[in-house]
Structure 1
Amino acid sequence: MDAKSRVVAGVLALTGGDTDSALDTYYAPAFVQHSPMCADGRDGLRELTEKAKSVGARYDLLRSIGEGDMVLLHARVTGLAPVPLILFNLYRFADGRVAEHWEAVAPETGPTACGHDMGDGPSEITDRDRTAANKDTIRRLVQDVLIDGEPAALDEFFDGDHLIRHAPSAADGTASLRESLASVQYLTLHRTVAEGNFVFAQSEGVRDGRPHVFADLFRLADGKVVEHWDVRTEIPEQMPHDNGIV
Structure 2
Amino acid sequence: MNKLLPIAAISASVLLTACGGNTKDNAEVQLINQEKAVALITSFETKDKAALAYIDSDKYVQHNLMAADGIEGFKHFLSILPKTDVKADVIRAYSDGDYVFTHTDYNLFEPEVGFDIFRFEDGKMVEHWDNLQPTATSPNPSGRTQLDGATKAVDLDKTEANKALVADFVETILMKGEFDKVGNFFEGDYYLQHNTQVADGLSGLSKALAYMASQGIEMVYNKNHLVLGQGNFVLSVSEGTFAGKDTSFYDLFRVENGKIVEHWDVIETILPEAKRQNANGKF
* TM bracket (short chain): over 0.9
Q: TM-score scaled by structure 1?
A: 0.93
Alignment counterpart, residue 27 of structure 1, candidates 25, 47, 55 = 55
Distance in 1 between residues matched to 2:258 and 2:37, nearest whole Å: 33
Please tell me whether Structure 1 or Structure 2 has the larger radius of gyration of its CA atoms: 2
Superposition RMSD on alpha carbons, in Å? Answer: 1.6
Identify the residue that residue 77 of structure 1 maps to in structure 2. 106
**Corresponding residue of 2:222:** 187
Change (3 A) 1:216 1:236: same
Contact 1:216 1:231 survives alignment (8 Å) = yes
Q: Which amino acid aligns with 2:277?
A: P
Alignment of 1:1-246 (within 5 A): 1-13=28-40, 14-15=43-44, 16-19=46-49, 21-23=50-52, 25-29=53-57, 30-52=59-81, 54-81=83-110, 84-109=111-136, 110-180=138-208, 183-237=218-272, 238-246=275-283
5+ residue gaps, structure 1: none
Determine what percentage of the aligned residue pairs are the same residue: 33
Q: Contact (CA 8 Å) 2:38, 2:90: kept in 1 or not?
A: no
Q: Shift of the alpha carbon at 1:18?
A: 3.0
Task: Structure 2 unaligned segments of length 5 or more: list them.
Answer: 1-27
CA–CA separation in structure 2 for the residues paired with 1:10 and 1:189: 24
Measure, in 2, the Cα distance between the counterparts of 1:145 and 1:214.
14
- Offset at residue 22 of structure 1 (A): 2.0
Name the structure 1 match of 2:23. Answer: none
Aligned residues: 242
For the Cα contact (< 8 Å) 1:34–1:244, is it kept in 2?
Answer: yes
Q: Secondary structure at the match of 1:2?
A: helix
Note the alpha carbon deviations across 1:154-177, whole angstroms, 9 max, x for none.
121011111111111321111222
Q: Structure 1 pair 38/125, CA: closer, same or farther in 2 (3 Å)?
A: same
TM-score by length of 2: 0.81
Please state whether the residue corresponding to 1:138 is helix, strand or coil. helix
Counterpart CA distance in 2 for 1:163 and 1:133 is 19
How far apart are residue 4 of structure 1 and its match?
Answer: 4.6
Report the Cα offset of residue 49 of structure 1: 2.0
2 CA distance for matches of 1:38 and 1:55? 21
